[in-house]
Amino acid sequence: MSKVAILLGPDFEDSEFSVPRDALVDAGHDAVVVGPEKGKELTGKRGDVTFRADVGIADVDPEDFDAVVIPGGYSPDKLRTDERFVDFVSQATQRQTPIFAVCHAPSLLIEADVVRGKTMTSWPSIRTDLENAGANWVDQQVVRDAPFTTSRNPDDLPAFSKALLDELGASRGAQRETAANRS
């Protein structure tokens, strides 16, 4: 199964963390919560979900993950001021690691300067930021423009989670095919 980094800071949108994380875990994937520091308690902006970071950003390498999930809320805006998270996203993009960003999460992608020429969606208040950073913004439930999959809001989480699981299934198939070709 796949190893997925979930980049999380304080005041994340509760459901945008818990719904995709639960979908990953239920499907047998290794969902690793990457926070500012290992063991740091992070609470959602609604106060419904609290989670301790499995690892700190200083202790991870994007190369170790098959995908990245960035929940929305205020978390991505806080993470974008931490160069370690910005560098992680930049390196993951360079490696073409699938990155899943929902709601306000593209703000971290904007900070990493990786959205130019990409078609994306987001919460409406991020639209102008994405367009100013060179992205083409569309109002759709889920938008895929490799390596990114973006979504608008908590109402889109079922489709977002399905796209995440579908991509990981495709990634596993590609990994098996590559391994078979090396044999």
Assigned domain for 81 exists: yes
pLDDT digits (tens, 9 = 90+) for 12-59: 999 999 999 999 999 999 999 999 999 999 999 999 999 999 999 999
Domain extent for 56: 3-176
- How far is Cα 99 from Cα 43, in angstroms, rounded to an integer? 22
Assigned domain for 68 exists: yes
pLDDT digits (tens, 9 = 90+) for 81-118: 999 999 999 999 999 999 999 999 999 999 999 999 99
pLDDT of residue 173: 42
pLDDT of residue 174: 42
Q: pTM score, two decimals?
A: 0.92
End-to-end CA distance of the chain: 20
Assigned domain for 181 exists: no
CATH number, domain at 103?
A: 3.40.50.880
Instruction: Tell me which residues are annotated as active site.
Output: 103
Distances 139 to 49, 61, 90, 111, 170 between C-alpha atoms, Å: 28, 33, 25, 21, 25
pLDDT digits (tens, 9 = 90+) for 130-141: 999 999 999 999
Average pLDDT of the segment spanning 65-72: 98
pLDDT of residue 170: 63
